[in-house]
Structure 1
Amino acid sequence: MPAPKVWFITGASTGLGRAMTELVLKNGDIAVATLRKPEALAGLSAQYASDRLLVLKLDVTSRDEIAAAFARTKETFGRADIVFNNAGYGVATEVEYAYEHDQLVRDVFEVNFWGAAHMTQAAIKFFREVNGPSIGGHLLQNSSMFAIESMPCVGYYCSTKFALEGLSEALSKELDPSWNIKVTIIKAGFLATDIHARADFIDALPAYAQSPAASARENLYSYAKNPIGGDPEKAVEAFYRLTRLPDPPLHFILGKDAIELIKRKIATLTLAMDSYASWSEGLERTGNPEEESRVSE
């Protein structure tokens, strides 16, 4: 029987983080569950021994707390096989209106992008220096289908996911294959979690009352009260299965809505590219570049 895997999970108090923690424990693996308020997992801590569940306080905006959490993981278990980089939340506002609430928007970037980036750095270093290539590691980056196409009223949230996507793709190309470190960017569609209920809703800008942003905002209000989408427990089961693959994908798309959104985006980009492809003809520089540079001076 294979040895249990050690999972390091951020944002473990609710949503996908909580569901993943429970699944890992149910499957006989070990969970390092991190969250800002450890008391939220008091019930789970009562059910599982300390050699199965380690609950740690971690605010991903604190590099010191990230370092301390990985140090405690090393001290307790000696390794972390999988890091589920999941912590995050949203803010609803028109792009234009965010200047009135600059700090709220910056805070979302601090958690969703910079917090995730600092977690990424710490995880990769841990995989390389603590685990070593005999163990390696698998980093699951919880992105979103909205890292591919933004929707109205959550442009800043979407932007954090676009940024995380770009960072993760670059990272995947920087890693030495001999380190045995895998990266998977998860692009899931709507899942019936409480993420909308935890979002910060900034009052609507009156000028946008008849715009697409208004209907998008109403949908977000509705989702906050009655979450829609796929089953979070089934989603984390899919994420879990990914970690059992010998060669997991860099991009993992989950949900029929995510698949349809990405197909539409590909079609839109293809049309835009093909429609104006001829405009790229003749862009090549002619003559001697050094000569042209002297003339321009």
Structure 2
Amino acid sequence: MAPLVWFITGGSSGFGYYLALHALAAGHHVIATARSVTKSAETVQDIETKGGKVIELDVTKAETIRQVISQAESIHGHIDVLVNNAGYSVLGAVEDITPEEATLQFETNFFGPLRLIQAALPSMRARGAGTIVNVSSVAGQDALPTCGLYAASKFALEGLSESLSREVASFGLGVLIVEPGAFKTNFLEAAKKTDVGLSEPYRGGVVDTVLGKFDSIRGFQRGDPAKGVARVFEVVTGEGAAGDLKGRILRLPLGPDCVARVEEKLKSVSSDLEVTRGVAMGTDYDNL
């Protein structure tokens, strides 16, 4: 197949970085973004020496989004694959999250992708080709204690993606939601605990326990990011081990831990549906 042009946010670290390198190694064109090119100098150089391009972008700065998309489109003439990967997690009890932390979480994980999608869609729609990849998380399906705002932002991204996939299908465009479990990237290192800390009522409880578990697995995650991004690449391109899934799926779960948690979530939702069926079915007007 002809090389695709990939635009990958958060491309200087984590999944974005590994995906950029994978696409470049396969002979594709990559335009990655970094919040600070200076602070990410090593990975920026790595991407650019392999033939990629890195643009500075803070996805929370709404006024810069359309300009950056236009700049990216001018490099190779268009964008084939928009990958909304930039994101982070704020950790803490929902009660302890400050308004500023909640706002920044959504600006980064939801409104940033929304604005990028809106900026990239006109060109994709005009060409009748393109794929939007929204990197969610297993937390976009199953919300653990401590992850309330992070999960909320990913639930929102998944809802947006579901609707978007139905809106743009007739234009020949695809949408893919990627749901990684625990992969060995810098994600946990970059996670931020709420500024107010853990308030007294939550100390020694489930929130405290889960925070401790995150601390204990940092650096020991079982997921191999190189394998994870390979599956994403294959589903988008239709090549390789997962290539036959191209166009057949909306969600791509990644990792045994993700599969297990989503299976338990589905059981819970199914159970709720069944036990409430009689109540739910009896709420119409009697005379209709």
Is the TM value for this pair above 0.5?
Answer: yes
Per-residue deviation, residues 183-239 of structure 1 (Å, max 9, x unmatched):
011112111111111111121111111321110011122234x24131011100110
* Alpha-carbon contact 2:133-2:178 (below 8 Å) kept: yes
Q: 2:211 corresponds to which residue?
A: 217
Q: 1:191 corresponds to which residue?
A: 183
CA gap 1:282/1:109 in 2 versus in 1, 3 angstroms = closer
Superposition TM-score, scaled by structure 2 size: 0.90
CA gap 1:90/1:279 in 2 versus in 1, 3 angstroms = same
Task: For residue 271 of structure 1, report the CA deviation from its aligned partner.
Answer: 1.4
* Alpha-carbon contact 1:194-1:227 (below 8 Å) kept: no
* Alpha-carbon contact 1:182-1:248 (below 8 Å) kept: no
Task: For residue 280 of structure 1, report the CA deviation from its aligned partner.
Answer: 2.9
Q: How does 1:58-97 map to 2 (within 5 A)?
A: 58-97=57-96
Q: 1:263 corresponds to which residue?
A: 263
CA gap 1:25/1:276 in 2 versus in 1, 3 angstroms = same
* Alpha-carbon contact 2:15-2:85 (below 8 Å) kept: yes
Q: 1:21 corresponds to which residue?
A: 20
Give aligned-pair identity as a percent.
28
* Alpha-carbon contact 1:15-1:194 (below 8 Å) kept: yes
Q: 1:291 corresponds to which residue?
A: none
101, 108, 112: which is aligned to 2:109?
A: 112
1:102 aligns with 2:99: yes
Task: For residue 176 of structure 1, report the CA deviation from its aligned partner.
Answer: 4.8
Q: 2:253 corresponds to which residue?
A: 253
Structure 2 counterpart of 1:215, one-letter code: T
Q: Tell me the number of residue pairs that the alignment of Structure 1 and Structure 2 aligns.
A: 276
Task: For residue 81 of structure 1, report the CA deviation from its aligned partner.
Answer: 1.0
CA gap 1:42/1:251 in 2 versus in 1, 3 angstroms = closer
Moved more, 242-251 or 88-97: 242-251
Q: 2:230 corresponds to which residue?
A: 237
Structure 2 counterpart of 1:282, one-letter code: G
Per-residue deviation, residues 42-86 of structure 1 (Å, max 9, x unmatched):
4225523xxx32211111112332212221122220011111110
CA distance in 2, matches of 1:227, 1:35: 25
Q: 2:120 corresponds to which residue?
A: 123
Q: 2:242 corresponds to which residue?
A: none
CA distance in 2, matches of 1:127, 1:152: 39
Q: Per the alignment, in what secondary structure is the counterpart of residue 56 of structure 1?
A: strand
* Alpha-carbon contact 2:44-2:54 (below 8 Å) kept: no
Structure 1 counterpart of 2:214, one-letter code: L
Instruction: For structure 2, list consecutive stretches of 5 or more residues without a partner in the other structure.
Output: 239-245
CA gap 1:286/1:183 in 2 versus in 1, 3 angstroms = same
CA distance in 1, matches of 2:156, 2:26: 33
TM superposition outliers: structure 1 runs of 4+ over 4 Å: none
Q: 2:55 corresponds to which residue?
A: 56
* Alpha-carbon contact 1:189-1:255 (below 8 Å) kept: yes
CA distance in 1, matches of 2:143, 2:100: 21
